[in-house]
Amino acid sequence: MHMVDVAVIGCGVTGAAVACALARRDVSVLVLEAENDVAMRTTKANSGILHAGYDPEPGTRMAKWNVRGAQLAKELCEALDVPRTETGSLVLAFTDGEVRHLEQLLERGRENGVPGLRILTAEETAAMEPHLSPVKAALYAPTAAVVSPWEYALAMAENAVENGAEVRLSCPVTGAEPVDGGWLLHTPQGDVAARFVVNAAGVHAGEVHEMVAPKSFETIPCRGEYYLLDKSEGTRVHSVIFQCPNELGKGVLVAPTAHGNLIVGPNAEDVDSTANTAAGLAFVAEMARKSVPDVDLRQNIRNFAGVRANTDQKDFVFGFAAPGFVDLAGMKSPGLTAAPAAAEDTVALLMSAGLGAPEKENCVRTRRRVRFRELSNEERAALVTKQPAYGRVVCRCETVTEGEILDACRSPIPPCSIDGVKRRAGSGMGRCQGGFCSPRVLEILSRECGIDPLDIT
């Protein structure tokens, strides 16, 4: 049986980053993803913050990967044309005790190598963000940014495919056994042989670990619920507004998104479910109003929830579960930020174990996407003359054209659902949440990708 060099299990942001880094080297890479698309689990449902890096304890893997990951994310997002905005962030202190906490965070941040951190006075904070409640002080981190998390993962996965990797969707790994020179992975689409395996299965990474080794960490899935507000609320604040972190995590934030909406959340509850609850949302609303009293939650266009891959370990879980089988588990927050740094260290670990992986001389490092609504009228006219499909607006809320939906359908990892088109082209992201454009998107997707409309979810 043909043996690939590296099989990656899971294609959230962690698996996508690993595949992207590996495919730029001279090795064969196969990504096995249980869902019908990239970024279908935790990677599509989080706060979308590229954290500056003052929160993790100095000396930990989390601190190192956070700060390095934020730097790499900046380069990757620029090169791969992923929406990312450097908003900066503020941690608010409402009490003297919290001011002392800010000083600890400042100290930690400096040890972690986070640039530009400083504590603002009450007046400076109010001048920067006039809609905040009065505070005693705030920690300002100018390098914090917001990113479109699913577009980030998709861009890295697409780049991996452009550089020769294969991404196999709807392909859960159900078992693994050691074979001569590597591993045999069982999937409903047939067995796969690989010299090395990377376990990037998110909340399920513990189960994958236990396919090859005794249990060594406990996963404690932890749900976080959100409001996503209409763009009319998108400038209520301009930076990411945190409260002081506590044992439950980074607390409820209010932040602009990379798409210009306002995101409010999350809470933290130890359940493995993405359902929203009245109690969870009420808590989020109450906490958010503590920071931003006039946030208008009636402008909500969608609620959602994501599940953190918390474990009984303080740090990310990284290392060989068995010979040639690497765990990248417990990728809780700031896992989105950490992903490319985790990928860098994974490549180094695999190479130390015998994966000869010289860098490719020629590989694709950039990507450009048409975003019709961001073009000037002159640019729009020129584009429509060349390709009339860009002149037909399909999603009226977000001004997404048929041309952009065709681009999504023809991308290296084509979508197979209406939400798959949404994640690539942005149709259905707006106020009506796809009420008007879904039938048109379905028609185009069916025609372009040759899928029976009755098979499109």
Q: How far is the CB of 210 from ligand FAD (least distance, A)?
A: 11
- Residue 31, beta-bridge partner list: 8, 167
Q: How far apart are CA 214 and CA 163, in angstroms?
A: 35
* Token pair recorded at residue 107: 């100290």
Q: Which amino acid is at 235?
A: T
Query: Which one, 40 or 262, has the nearer CB to ligand FAD?
Result: 40
Q: Considering the rule CB under 6 A, would residue 244 count as an interface residue with ligand FAD? A: no
Q: How far is the CB of 445 from ligand FAD (least distance, A)?
A: 21
Angle between helices 402-409 and 418-425 (to 10 degrees): 110
Q: How far is the CB of 24 from ligand FAD (least distance, A)?
A: 19
Q: Considering the rule CB under 6 A, would residue 269 count as an interface residue with ligand FAD? A: no
Q: Considering the rule CB under 6 A, would residue 201 count as an interface residue with ligand FAD? A: yes
Strands 262-265 and 137-141: what pairing?
unpaired
Cβ atoms of 397 and 430 closer than 8 Å: yes
Q: How far is the CB of 123 from ligand FAD (least distance, A)?
A: 28
Among 51, 204, 209, 259, the one annotated catalytic:
51
204 is catalytic: no
* Token pair recorded at residue 145: 């940014």
Q: Considering the rule CB under 6 A, would residue 428 count as an interface residue with ligand FAD? A: no
Q: Considering the rule CB under 6 A, would residue 172 count as an interface residue with ligand FAD? A: yes
Q: How far apart are CA 52 and CA 113, in angstroms?
A: 10
Q: How far is the CB of 208 from ligand FAD (least distance, A)?
A: 5
- Nearest residue to ligand FAD, using CB? 335
Site for ligand FAD in 248-267 (CB under 6 A): 266
Q: How far apart are CA 289 and CA 211, in angstroms?
A: 45
Q: How far is the CB of 373 from ligand FAD (least distance, A)?
A: 25
- Residue 328, beta-bridge partner list: 318
Q: How far is the CB of 335 from ligand FAD (least distance, A)?
A: 2
Query: Which one, 40 or 406, has the nearer CB to ligand FAD?
Result: 40
Strands 222-229 and 192-199: what pairing?
unpaired
Which residues does 314 contact at the CB level (< 8 Å), separation at least 6? 57, 60
The mark string for 314-343 relative to ligand FAD (x by CB under 6 A, - otherwise) is -----------------xxxxxxx------
Query: Which one, 106 or 309, has the nearer CB to ligand FAD?
Result: 309
Q: Which amino acid is at 141?
A: A
Q: Tell the residue number behind the tokens 């963000």, with chain if given.
A: 129
Site for ligand FAD in 204-243 (CB under 6 A): 204, 208, 224
Q: How far is the CB of 31 from ligand FAD (least distance, A)?
A: 9
Q: How far apart are CA 425 and CA 407, in angstroms?
A: 8
Query: Which one, 165 or 444, has the nearer CB to ligand FAD?
Result: 165
Query: Which one, 350 or 444, has the nearer CB to ligand FAD?
Result: 350
| Cα within 13 Å of Cα(125), Cβ side | 26
Q: How far apart are CA 11 and CA 29, in angstroms?
A: 12
> How is 170-187 classified by DSSP, letter by letter?
S----EEEEETTEEEEE-
Among 61, 64, 209, 308, binds ligand FAD (CB under 6 A): 308
Residues in binding contact with ligand FAD, number by CB under 6 A: 40
116-120 long-range contacts, Cβ below 8 Å, gap at least 24? 116/140, 116/141, 116/142, 116/143, 117/52, 117/54, 117/141, 117/142, 120/90
Cβ atoms of 264 and 226 closer than 8 Å: yes
3-state secondary structure of 382: helix
Site for ligand FAD in 380-419 (CB under 6 A): none
Query: Which one, 69 or 403, has the nearer CB to ligand FAD?
Result: 69
Among 307, 341, 350, 418, binds ligand FAD (CB under 6 A): 307
Query: Which one, 25 or 204, has the nearer CB to ligand FAD?
Result: 204
Site for ligand FAD in 134-163 (CB under 6 A): none
Q: How far is CA 70 from CA 284, 368, 373, in A?
A: 27, 21, 28
Site for ligand FAD in 4-63 (CB under 6 A): 9-15, 32-35, 40-43, 46-49, 51
Query: Which one, 241 or 397, has the nearer CB to ligand FAD?
Result: 241
Active site (catalytic) residues: 51
Residues that bind ligand FAD (CB under 6 A): 9-15, 32-35, 40-43, 46-49, 51, 172-173, 200-204, 208, 224, 266, 306-308, 331-337
